[in-house]
Amino acid sequence: MNLEIIRRPFNRYFLRHNPYLFALFLLLLSLAINYFLQPNLFDLRVLNGNMRIFLPLMILAAGQSIVVLGGGIDLSVGTVVSLVNAVLITNLARESGPVEVLWAIALGLGIGLLAGAFNGLCVAYLRLQPIVTTYATSFIYSGLALYILPRPGGAIPAELARLYRSTPASIPFTLLMVVLLLLIWKLIRATRFGTFLYALGGDAEASFTTGIRVSRMRLWIYTVSGGFAALSAVALTLSTSTGDPRIGESMTLDSIVAVVLGGTRLSGGYGGIAGSIIGVAILGTIRNIISFANVPTWWQTLVDAVIIVSALAGPGLIKLLRRGS
């Protein structure tokens, strides 16, 4: 029986141990279709334009994956983006200097971490259900965002917007940020926090008996998620150059869809951030395809949803077929 693992063909072994594989396949497929409809897809200008839109959700999905890997879920991330966006825009103006910019970003980050820590306290120490807790706290954050910035508006220094769009050495700045994100993840993965994260999501009870401080870990996980949401808000603010107290709302569910598309198990303990980043790219490409395929506007949401549902069902269908044979 044990020899089976050795005899199993290499590619099946590889399949089982690479959570991103299906996501990569989907990405290549959607990119191919997108390229067919939009031949200049890989032009620097078009690539840069796409990446500018994808980056905020990629950062957000990265934070969401950390929560999901640890066995939780965070439904407040989108409203934290709105809140931090509101904070940034009220502390920035077209003529802000570097000091003011750094101050605004530090403030935004701090608020994101605080919002995450509040979620963490509720989940870890008050033992509330993550899905309900973070849904409830999302109203606090969106209320605060509306209080700080009652209506859309505001501006940021032009240099900041230009930095975000820049392409040093013909590589989009945003793509460099993705590489940085992956490096940070690799670093997190190499720390104890990274190991504990997978252990906690894999089996909380066994983690406890092994001596992991489960509550403290949960607090950290949600705090980190809040931090990623704040970073996402920074990227989003640079991208849109303005403020909107509802801007992040639709991003929460997108972040979860991206995590699942990327092969991370929703109950935790299996997967990774790279998959979620691929997931966002898939989502974005699908939306490109829909807009280039001349789908009538009133069909767009439906087509979008159908594609996403079939993409989500993909791995399960493959498993079902394999069991059948």
Partner 1 sequence: MKKITLSAQNLIKRYGGVVALANGNLSISSGEVLALVGANGSGKSTLGKIITGVVQPDGGDLHVDGQPVRLGSPQVARRLGITAVYQELSLIADMSVTENIWLSHEPRRWGLVDTRQMDRHTETLLELFAGTVSPNLQPSTLIGELPPDEKQVVEILKALSWDPRLIILDEATASLDSRQVARLFELVARWQADGRAVIIVSHRMEENYRVAQRATVLRGGEAVADRVLADTPTAELVQLMIPDSAVRVKKTAADDELTQRPVRLAVNHLKTKRLKDISLSIRDGELLGIGGLRGQGQEELLRALFGVVPYEGEVRVSQKDVHFKHPQEAIGHGVALVPGDRGTEGLLLSRSILENLQLPSWAQYGRILNMKSARSDAQAAGRDLRLKMGALSDPVSSLSGGNAQKVVLGKWLLRSPKLLLLNDPTKGVDVGAKGEFYQILDSLRAAGTAVLFYSSDDEELLWLCDRILVMHDGGVSAELHGEHLTHANLVAASMGSVGSMENHV
Amino acid at 233: A
Output the CA torsion sign for 163, 167, 168, 172: positive
As to burial, measured by CB atoms within 10 angstroms (0-12 exposed, 13-18 middle, 19+ buried), residue 272 is: buried
State how far the Cα of 49 lies from the Cα of 162, in Å rounded to an integer.
Answer: 13
Angle between helices 192-202 and 173-189 (to 10 degrees): 80
CB 220 to partner 1: min, Å = 15
Q: Which residues contact 247 (CB under 8 A, 6 or more apart)?
A: 81, 82, 85, 236, 240
Sign of CA dihedral 182, 187, 192, 195: positive
CB of residue 198 vs partner 1: minimum separation in angstroms? 6
In whole angstroms, the minimum distance from the beta carbon of 183 to partner 1 comes to 13
Angle at 37 between CA 32 and CA 41, to 5 degrees: 70
Which CB, 77 or 224, lies closer to partner 1?
224
What is the closest distance, in whole angstroms, from the C-beta atom of residue 277 to partner 1 in the complex?
21
Closer of 112 and 271 to partner 1 (Cβ): 271
- Quick one: 173 or 196, whose CB is closer to partner 1? 196
DSSP 153: B
Neighbours of 325 (CB within 10 A): 4
Tell me which residues touch partner 1 (CB under 8 A).
1-3, 5-6, 17, 187, 190-192, 194-196, 198-199, 202-203, 205-213, 269-270
Between residues 165 and 265, which has the closer beta carbon with respect to partner 1? Answer: 265
Smaller CB separation from partner 1, 40 or 191: 191
Q: Diameter of the chain by CA atoms?
A: 70
Whole-angstrom distance between the N-terminal and C-terminal Cα of the chain?
20
**Minimum Å distance from CB 202 to partner 1?**
4
* Contact yes or no for 197/52 (Cβ under 8 A): no
Report the nearest approach of partner 1 to the CB of residue 269 (Å): 5
In terms of Cβ atoms closer than 10 Å to its own Cβ (0-12, 13-18, 19+), residue 177 is middle
Q: How far is the CB of 195 from partner 1 (least distance, A)?
A: 6
Closer CB to partner 1, 6 or 169, in the complex = 6
Taking the C-alpha atoms of residue 129 and residue 189, their distance in angstroms, rounded to an integer, is 26
Tell me how far apart the alpha carbons of residues 125 and 40 are, in angstroms, rounded to a whole number: 52
Residue number with CB closer to partner 1 (18 or 310): 18
Q: State the nearest-atom distance from the C-beta of 318 to partner 1, in Å.
A: 19
Q: Which is nearer to partner 1, 129 or 195 (CB)?
A: 195
